[in-house]
């Protein structure tokens, strides 16, 4: 019996071990306790999807990016130390498969060397086709040897404050940058270094140096404006301005019809007088533009407009008097020095404008066929 006792204990130990390890009470493959993850993550983007607005942004960018270009220009400036080159940068967008590109005039103005970089980083030399400084517009062309992607020109005449807009350009030379916002206001007038621009679209979409000339798009990817100016010299503060695309359409229609872009030219120098100054000159106190000179051979000369016949000093003003006072143009009263300029920006060389003048104390209407300002490239 003693000889069997070790085998019996061994059998009992083995049976006990098998019982314990085969039951649910002890599982060496399990952790001692279950611990949940302390953080969670979203579903994969492909499964979760984008919001409708995000998808719209993505689609507009994909469809517009390749037609938005980067423009560099070189202008040679003369100084006391000699002639030196100044480099400028901006944006533009392709409007025809053959390579016509719209941009701002101030992006390319006076440049003897224009280069356009496409989204594929290929660089092409560009040539000027025409420009319209009054609306800060320019048309240039590249020869890429292939059909190019284009943007559609939309409707800027029926914009609504609050509608979504997207801007694409090259701010601070960061190519292919898109920002979004809304139409903040319409019909704004802004003063630039060169001129006054009226009827501008105001937007809070971020526009910075380098965005000039790029497209302002609606939610369908149609161009409704050309990004032109910002308030503040350093960068975007949420107030940017775009030239309505309707102005560019008018320029393009004229170019297509005549092969050139004609700017209207009246041929007078004027000064705005009103109130006490006008009364001192025995002119209507409501004011107008007093003609100081009429260029010989100009449209104004041909229409019989008259300049001064004497010079007087009134206060601190040295004025030519005795000439015509322009008080209205096409039926719109001249109520500031920019009114006539704004009306002329909507005209082309060869168009007519009806001026209401005060001559010898009487109102007269004079129809003027506008001349053409010379194009200089």
The string of pLDDT tens digits covering residues 207-226 is 888 889 999 999 999 999 99
Side-chain-side CA neighbours of 318 within 13 Å: the count stands at 0
pTM for the model stands at 0.69
Q: Distance (Å, rounded) from C-alpha 244 to C-alpha 223?
A: 9
Model confidence at 293, in pLDDT bands (50, 70, 90)? very high
The structure tokens listed for 258 are: 């005549």
- Residue 218 · residue 158 · CB < 8 Å: no
The pLDDT of 61-81, averaged and rounded, is 80
Calculate the dihedral angle through the C-alpha atoms of 145, 149, 155, 161, rounding to the nearest 10 degrees.
-130
Lowest-confidence range among 35-49, 141-155, 293-307, 349-363?
35-49
Phi, psi of 114 (to 5 degrees): -110, 135
% of residues, the chain, pLDDT over 70 = 82
pLDDT at 58 over 90: yes
Q: Is 343 left (phi over 0), alpha (psi -120 to 50) or beta?
A: alpha
Angle in degrees, CA 241, 246, 248, rounded to 5: 85
The structure tokens listed for 137 are: 């517009």
The pLDDT of 69-81, averaged and rounded, is 70
Model confidence at 86, in pLDDT bands (50, 70, 90)? low
The structure tokens listed for 58 are: 């993505």
Residue 261 is predicted with a pLDDT of 78
Model confidence at 377, in pLDDT bands (50, 70, 90)? very low
Calculate the dihedral angle through the C-alpha atoms of 91, 65, 124, 103, rounding to the nearest 10 degrees.
-30
SS3 label, residue 256: helix
Side-chain-side CA neighbours of 312 within 13 Å: the count stands at 11
pLDDT at 47 over 50: no
Lowest-confidence range among 28-32, 271-275, 337-341?
28-32
pLDDT at 200 over 60: yes
Q: Distance (Å, rounded) from C-alpha 274 to C-alpha 280?
A: 10
DSSP letter at 153?
A: B
The pLDDT of 241-255, averaged and rounded, is 89
pLDDT at 262 over 80: no
Catalytic residues: 106, 136, 212
């Amino acid at each position: 019996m003693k000889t069997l006792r070790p085998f019996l204990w061994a059998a009992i130990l083995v049976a006990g071990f098998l019982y314990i390890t085969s039951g649910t009470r002890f599982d060496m493959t399990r952790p001692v306790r279950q611990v949940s993850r302390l953080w969670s993550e979203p579903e994969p983007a492909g499964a979760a999807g984008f919001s409708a607005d995000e998808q719209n942004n993505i689609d507009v960018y994909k469809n517009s990016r390749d037609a938005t270009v980067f423009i560099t220009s070189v202008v040679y400036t003369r100084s006391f130390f000699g002639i030196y080159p100044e480099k400028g940068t901006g944006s533009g967008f392709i409007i025809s498969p053959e390579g016509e590109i719209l941009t701002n005039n101030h992006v390319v103005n006076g440049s003897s060397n224009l280069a356009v970089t496409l989204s594929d980083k290929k660089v092409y030399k560009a040539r000027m086709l025409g420009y319209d400084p009054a609306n800060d517009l320019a048309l240039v062309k590249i020869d890429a040897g292939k059909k190019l992607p284009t943007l559609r020109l939309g409707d800027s005449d029926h914009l609504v404050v609050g509608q979504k807009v997207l801007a694409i350009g090259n701010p601070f030379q960061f190519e292919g940058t898109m920002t979004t916002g809304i139409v903040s206001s319409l019909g704004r007038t802004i003063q630039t270094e060169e001129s006054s621009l009226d009827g501008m679209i105001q937007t809070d979409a971020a526009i910075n140096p380098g965005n000039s000339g790029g497209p302002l798009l609606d939610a369908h990817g149609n161009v409704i404006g050309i990004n032109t100016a910002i308030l503040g010299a350093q960068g975007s503060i949420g107030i940017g301005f775009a030239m309505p695309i309707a102005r560019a359409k008018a320029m393009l229609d004229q170019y297509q019809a005549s092969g050139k872009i004609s700017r209207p030219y009246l041929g007078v120098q004027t000064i705005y007088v009103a109130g006490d100054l006008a009364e001192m000159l025995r002119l209507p106190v409501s004011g107008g533009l007093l003609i100081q000179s009429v260029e010989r051979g100009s449209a104004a000369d041909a229409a019989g407009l008259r300049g001064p016949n004497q010079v007087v000093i009134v206060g601190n003003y040295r004025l030519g008097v005795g000439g015509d006072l322009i008080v209205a143009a096409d039926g719109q009263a001249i109520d500031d020095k920019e009114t006539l300029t704004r009306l002329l920006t909507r005209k082309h060389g060869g168009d007519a404008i009806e001026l209401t003048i005060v001559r010898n104390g009487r109102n007269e209407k004079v129809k003027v066929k506008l001349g053409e300002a010379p194009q200089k490239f």
